[in-house]
Amino acid sequence: MKNGDVAEMLERAARILALRGENRYRVRAYRRAARAIAAEYRDIEILFRQNKLQTLDGVGAGLAAKIKEILHTGQLSLVERLESGVLPEAGDSIILLASALTLCTELIPELEEIAGVSSVSPTGEVRRCRETVERIELVMAVNDMSHAREALARARRLHNQRFEGNLCLAVHSFGLPLSLYLVSEDDYVRTMWLTTGSEKHVSEVSALVRGNTGGNLVYQNGKKHAISSEADIYRLAGLPFIEPELREGRGESAAGLSGELPVLIEAGDYKGDLHVHTDWSDGMASIEKMAEAAVELGYEYMAVTDHSRSLKIAKGLSLDRLAEQVKLIRKVQEKFPTLTILTGIEADILDDGTVDAPDEVLAGLDVVIASIHSGFRQSSEKLTGRICRAMQNPHVMIVAHATGRLLGKRNAYAVDMDEVIRCAANTGTALEINSSPDRLDINDLMAGQARTAGVPVSINTDAHSRLELANVALGITVARRGWLGSGDVINTLGLDALHTFLKRKKAGA
């Protein structure tokens, strides 16, 4: 087996453990081992034969045994047990959007193989891309209701099934609650629309349909509406199509009526990640490996922003090591003609609001990110003051994960984001949407505030491995929920325009 195959199996185990709400340190151990193997240049089979598996970062005797099992059998019995075993105990843990999307990716193909089912799509909070969801909702178009229900009852990973009409409530083997709407193909689009939007959105649009047609979503003057897409529903309401992420009842209907709905940022607009870690600090892959992954994603640029010297727990770079890294980046750059590797740093915001590197060092870097990693329990005045003072530094271009929250683990610290956004606007500093699944920081509402205030936003992954670069999709959903277009996000700029933006603050423009 190849390194990627073993890493993928361990990552799958980590995902399932996380979805089931298992011990987070166990999840982290599997994920760390997966990243180490994915980043390892030596062949995993050779390491096994040389009895060197435990030379890999994070791999002890227990995980070495799991790797041996994968190499011998091509499988991992832990995964088999987790996928078909008893349900985890019910708890009050939140479901992250990333977890919900992961389950949808795995479950939808299985459901579409059920006899009588023609198509399956996510709906509800998952389709609106809320950062956390209460349950996972899917609409299933069926051409034979009785056969579909019978086959669903035999699905080995759907437990505690209970039907309310044609709504099936169930619990997945991973412990996540499901709502499955079984509908005819004729009602598929209508049901998708009704179950996607918030109650307020559905109510507002339905009222517009009644006002325009004198009927409802199904009939007008006794004649059934021809609805082949959700755009047809919005047409009945006199509205342009409203993207699922906006269907929260936050003024999108009024904006549609007045022609003020934004054109939202798309994945294809994104040109590069400005917050990436490597094995020079606490990342799992080399600069070259991260650059290779960025090329595979089609990026124009990628910024290497390892931690600064004060964050010793993350192997923060001394000034000498930072200088060495800059030289190496220049050398590695020669191997990547289509990708520009930007030099940078994630500099700690210190207790007095200064950043953890001299100005003369920061001046020589392409990208300077500032962030807080200590003093989370300080007062709102203290924390806000630290961030705002850091933004006064002409070399600080982006403030990362400004509220410090970890979804389901740590609340945001007591920072005054209204004041932070004002300071960002006054200093020309960008605020980051951190795409890490348990951060998504700043959130959608704050991103919308930044947009209104004219504050540029940077969507970054804070990736510590090649695989984590893909998390940018989560950050883009946050931006879309915040009504951001491509012009609001600096990562959509071409390289020349990005350089102009990054240099503007230094020049005092």
pLDDT at 509 over 50: no
| Confidence class for position 80, pLDDT limits 50, 70, 90 | confident
| Confidence class for position 84, pLDDT limits 50, 70, 90 | low
| Confidence class for position 178, pLDDT limits 50, 70, 90 | very high
3-class secondary structure, 303: strand
CATH architecture label of 95-257? 2-Layer Sandwich (3.30)
Q: Which two tokens stand for residue 444?
A: 């959608």
Long-range contacts of 259-262 (CB under 8 A, 24+ apart): 262/483, 262/484, 262/485
Query: Residue 153 carries which side chain, given as an amino acid letter?
Result: A
Does this model's pTM top 0.85? My answer is yes
Residue 226 has what pLDDT? Answer: 77
Model pLDDT for residues 47-64, shown as the tens digit of each residue: 898 998 988 888 888 898
Residue 222 has what pLDDT? Answer: 59
What does the pLDDT average to over 373-388? Answer: 97
pLDDT at 249 over 90: yes
Q: Which two tokens stand for residue 67?
A: 């790797």
Q: Which of 142-156, 177-191, 439-453 has the lowest mean pLDDT?
A: 142-156
What is the spatial distance between Cα 439 and Cα 478, in angstroms, rounded to a whole number? 11
The CATH superfamily assigned to 3-84 is DNA polymerase beta, N-terminal domain-like (1.10.150.110)
Closest by CA to 58, choosing from 471, 464, 407, is: 464
What does the pLDDT average to over 334-357? Answer: 97
Query: Residue 149 carries which side chain, given as an amino acid letter?
Result: R
| Alpha-helix runs per DSSP H in 349-508 | 359-362, 380-392, 417-427, 444-453, 472-481, 495-506
Could you tell me how many residues make up the chain? 509
Closest by CA to 413, choosing from 374, 376, 371, is: 376
Domain ranges of the chain: 3-84, 95-257, 267-506
pLDDT at 410 over 80: yes
What does the pLDDT average to over 347-351? Answer: 97
What does the pLDDT average to over 11-28? Answer: 79
What is the spatial distance between Cα 167 and Cα 169, in angstroms, rounded to a whole number? 6
Residue 161 has what pLDDT? Answer: 94
| Bridge partners of residue 430, in order along the sequence | 398
Q: In percent, how much of the chain has pLDDT > 70?
A: 96
What is the spatial distance between Cα 317 and Cα 302, in angstroms, rounded to a whole number? 19
What is the spatial distance between Cα 234 and Cα 209, in angstroms, rounded to a whole number? 8
16 against 279, higher pLDDT: 279
| Confidence class for position 357, pLDDT limits 50, 70, 90 | very high
What is the spatial distance between Cα 390 and Cα 348, in angstroms, rounded to a whole number? 10
Residue linked to tokens 């931690």: 307
Closest by CA to 419, choosing from 444, 436, 399, is: 399
34 against 428, higher pLDDT: 428
What is the spatial distance between Cα 181 and Cα 167, in angstroms, rounded to a whole number? 5
What does the pLDDT average to over 171-179? Answer: 90
| Confidence class for position 90, pLDDT limits 50, 70, 90 | low
DSSP line for 130-177: -SEESSEEEEEEES-HHHHHHHHHT-TTEEEEEEETTEEEEEETTS-E
Residue 35 has what pLDDT? Answer: 82
3-class secondary structure, 198: coil
CB distance 155 to 123 below 8 Å: no
24-39 and 3-19 helices, crossing angle to 10°: 160
Residue 219 has what pLDDT? Answer: 61
Residue 215 has what pLDDT? Answer: 72
CA triple 414-415-421, angle to 5 deg: 160
Residue 123 has what pLDDT? Answer: 98
Residue 160 has what pLDDT? Answer: 92
3-19 and 97-112 helices, crossing angle to 10°: 110
The CATH superfamily assigned to 267-506 is Metal-dependent hydrolases (3.20.20.140)
287-296 and 319-333 helices, crossing angle to 10°: 50
